Structure formats: structure tokens, C-alpha cells
Chains A and B, each alone.
Chain A
Amino acid sequence: MAPFDLVSALVGGALIGLAAVLLMLLNGRIAGVSGILGEALTGDDRGWRVAFLIGLVAAPLLLGAAGRPPPMPWMPSSFAIVIAAGLLVGFGTRLGGGCTSGHGVCGIARLSPRSIAATLVFTATAIVVVAVMRHGFGG
């Protein structure tokens, strides 16, 4: 994997922030991906939500067409783990009202105590899971 690159991390992050500001400035909506997908699946007013998701899928493909394809994502070999993780992420983000984008970026940007709490909890939980998976119990 490519080494840590400060500039692309900051520039990529700034683009994510810009996307969030634009969606609020133009449409009055929070750029939370779990909420957008969840409401696109179950709610009404689907048009803008589906368009946002299409943009999300199209962006890496456009980078690829421009000769800068993002690396293929590494995934666990076990489909059982992949599916269990997907179910947890889907159920958990809707129950908790947001994910890394809605709570982590949009919520922290407006200093929402709910979003700060949620971000601390899901990050701490994921850190514990990775510690157990990579290093076993007790490191």
C-alpha cells in the first residue's frame, strides 16, 4: 500500500467538507451517507438522494477513466464476516442516526454533542474490534 501522504489526506478531506457545505447551502441537507441511503430505501423524496449516491459511485470511476484509478479495496476473504459487518453497519448507523460522514464530519463541524458522543463511541468500538482481530485478546 502507498505510504501515508499528508497532502492527499488533507485535500481529499477538504473535498468531503466542501461536498457537505454545498449540499447544505444548495439543498439544505446534511451529507450523511447512511441517512441518505436509508431514506432512499425507505422514505420519500428519493430523487436527490439517489443522485448523490450515483455521484459517489461515479467519482472513483471518473478518476479511473482519467488514468488515476483508486486501488482495489482489500476485503476479508470470509463472506460471513463481510455480510455480518454489512448488517451491523446498516442497522447500527440507522439506529444511531448517522455514520462517519453524518456524525463524524457534519455533526462535529457544527459541534453537536450527540455527534461527538457517537463518533467517540463508534471509533472506540472499532479500535477494540481491530485490536482483538489483529492482536488477539490482551494484545
Chain B
Amino acid sequence: MPTVLAALVSGLIFGFGLAISGMTQPTRVLGFLDVLGIPSGTWDPTLAFVMIGALAVAAPGYLLTQRRERPLFAEVAAWPTKVEIDRPLIAGAVLFGLGWGLVGLCPGPAIANLGTLSSRVVAFVVAMAIGMLALDFWRRSRTRAYPAE
């Protein structure tokens, strides 16, 4: 139960951060990605400063957290262990970038916008969930076909 409450609080704070920073508005994100707008003065730098604000807290916060033996409510801290820059990482980033550039929504803001009940936001999130399930299905069928991999 503590882990569920902790996650709820973390999700709330994350959502407040997205909404306050303007990142739930896709046109802000697209305005940042539109670097051709730099010379004409229409470029929106918001996303860069959201990243700076997030990293200014997360980087020292993680360093302090790493000194602790274990999390407060869990047995182990699940720090990512992969280090190799492999093909799935790059291919996945390219596909994600294609979708992100088309609409200006990434997973966090897409979900945070569900409360607007906008039919297009709901369609995006349902499609995103289907894409995730499709990847899971594809991976599972590959593992069955090539169990040694």
C-alpha cells in the first residue's frame, strides 16, 4: 500500500509539473521542435527550460538517492542496468521521434490530457496502448521462435 500511495503522489507531482510548464499543450512542444523558427523569432524555448528545471532537481536528487542502501518502501532500487547502445534503442527512438513530431505528444502529456476527454487525445492514447501491446506481442512471438536469443 505505501508503494501505491507513493506512486500516486509522484504521478500527481509529475502531472502538476507537466501542466504548469505548459508541456500538456502540443503546440508548445512543436514550437520547440520547429528549429527553423529560430531565425524568424517564432521558436518556443519552453521545453529546453523544462528539461533544465527537471535535471537540476533529478540529477542531484538521484545522486543522494544512490547513497541510500534501499528505497523506503521497496527491497531494491530498480536502477536500469543496460549500457549498450544497440539497434532496438536507436530504432525505437526513431519511431518514437516520428510520432512525437507528427502531433507533439509524448506518453506523459498524452495521459495527463486524458481528463480533457478530447476524442483525439483518447484516440492517441488508445493507439499508443495498442502500439505498446503490439511490441510486447512481437517480442513474445520472437522469443518463442528463437528461444536461445
Binding site for B on A (CB under 8 A): 1-2, 4-6, 8-31, 33-34, 37-38, 41-42, 47-49, 51-64, 70-76, 79, 81-97, 99-101, 103-110, 112-114, 117-119, 121-131, 133-135, 139
| CB-CB nearest in chain B for A14 | B53
A-B contact count (CB 8 A): 483
- Closest partner residue, chain A, to B136 (CB atom): A42
Contact of B131 among A60, A87, A133 (CB under 8 A): A87
- Residues of A within 8 Å of B56, CB to CB, are 10, 13-14, 17
Q: Is the CB of B34 within 8 A of A134?
A: yes
Main secondary structure of the interface of A (DSSP, over half): helix
Asked if A18 and B13 sit within 8 Å, CB to CB, the answer is yes
Asked whether B103 lies within 8 Å of A82 as measured between CB atoms, the reply is: yes
Contact B58 A82 (CB under 8 A): no
Q: Is B143 an interface residue when CB atoms closer than 8 A count as contact?
A: no
**Does B4 make an interface contact (CB < 8 A)?**
yes
